Amino acid sequence: MLVQHFIQQHPDCLWVLLNLDDRLLRDQIEQQKLRELIQVAAKQIIGGDRKIWVAIDEAQKCPAIFEQIKILYDEYKDDKDVIKFILTGSGQLSLHQLSAESLAGRVCIFRVHEFVLREAMQLFNPAYQVVSSLADKILRTDFAPPAFKIDECLFWYKESLLALSELLVFGGFPEVLQSATKNSKQQYLSNYLQTYLEKDIRDLETIFDLRLYNNMMRILAEQTGSQRSEQAIAESLCCSRDTLNKYRGFLIATLLYEEIYPFIGSSLRQLVKSPKGYLLNNGLISNLTGIDDFAVLEKTALIGHRLENWLLNELKVRLSLIAERSEITYWRTRGGAEVDFVVRIGSDFVCPFEVTYAKKIQAKKIRNLMSFLAEEPKAQWGYYVYLGDFYCDIAQKIVFIPAWAM
């Protein structure tokens, strides 16, 4: 779908589409016939009248293709108007490894994230008009919170709340959001996990126990948003810490899990050392934990972790569009004061976020934000994401943001 959209945006180019699910195509490429395949499909030689764009899906299924792409790239690298390649694939780890080994210095790797709230709303309601979101504005170094108004967002208030509840339960995979029924959403997520385990993970030679890997995913899903307790997880799984580290490393490498490390501020004062772990897709968490009903989820303490997980994804997507170096960390003192996320962009921009699934403001969380702002001079404002009303406290330098307006 994404490649088709890109093709529509560049109708002036001559496109060749290859899907390596086709065994016959893979056989021809393994016989060193990629150049021939491209020229036959394009009906011209490479370097002819028109620039050729080659889109190859499931590229990781044919490792032989990478060396041939390298040869073609090097042959025409001095002429940018001859040929370009777009490689896509669902086996993230193998695709990344193969492209890095064969195309080092010749490739840009892009990760396609799940849908954010704005995209989910556009999917549910084509009439939705994109408005200025706080998430976009906050991460600009010239943002002045007192000047922002959410009046333009209020028209879509109900739709935004519905989309947010959907993302908290089923995550942002487009196929899941497009599914018409709860059963079809559940089925897609179950099939996704089964394919991931039986195909992507089973192919890794150093993974010997799929049941252990699956059990590890369940535990990490239940502990999303919590500090990592390595010894407790290893004991629960009856495995060594080395095995746990190796398996968790593959989960990170396949882009389903992420660890957020403690913030190191201007004072370089030592805080807690342990990272917090996040299984990134709320739909997979629902499937692994068995809690996939919003009414049930809302009555548990787990709803706060789902909202935290959602905000992490929103921030990650925004930061991926920023050219400057950026990172997401968290802040926690040995005394227990904590800020859920701290975004750093470049060397001088620091932005703390507290997030809670509640309409009322919690005094403890406000004290935490104020403590961070007092300690970190590079942080000009703190942000409190919750279910209440928008409000900007200029005196305390804290902006209160309804989650649906992000």
pLDDT at 186 over 70: yes
pLDDT of residue 123: 86
pTM above 0.95, yes or no: no
Q: Looking at the domain assignment, is residue 111 inside a domain? A: no
Q: Does residue 127 share a domain with residue 96?
A: no
Q: Does residue 392 share a domain with residue 336?
A: yes
Q: Are 89 and 59 in contact (CB under 8 A)?
A: yes
Q: Are 20 and 62 in contact (CB under 8 A)?
A: yes
DSSP code, position 196: I
334's torsion region: left (phi>0), alpha (psi -120 to 50) or beta?
Answer: alpha
Q: Does residue 382 share a domain with residue 246?
A: yes
Q: Looking at the domain assignment, is residue 107 inside a domain? A: no
The CATH number for 82's domain is 3.40.50.300
Binned at pLDDT 50, 70 and 90, residue 228 comes out as confident
For 110, the token pair is: 């892009």
CB atoms within 10 A of CB 202: 12
* Span 61-90, pLDDT tens digits: 888 888 899 889 888 888 877 898 988 876
Question: What domain count does the chain have?
Answer: 2
Binned at pLDDT 50, 70 and 90, residue 208 comes out as confident
Name the residue type at position 370: M
Q: Are 355 and 340 in contact (CB under 8 A)?
A: yes
Q: Does residue 167 share a domain with residue 295?
A: yes
**Domain boundaries, position 54:** 2-102
Q: Looking at the domain assignment, is residue 252 inside a domain? A: yes
Q: Looking at the domain assignment, is residue 112 inside a domain? A: no
Q: Does residue 209 share a domain with residue 80?
A: no
* Averaged pLDDT for residues 191-215: 82
Q: Does residue 178 share a domain with residue 287?
A: yes
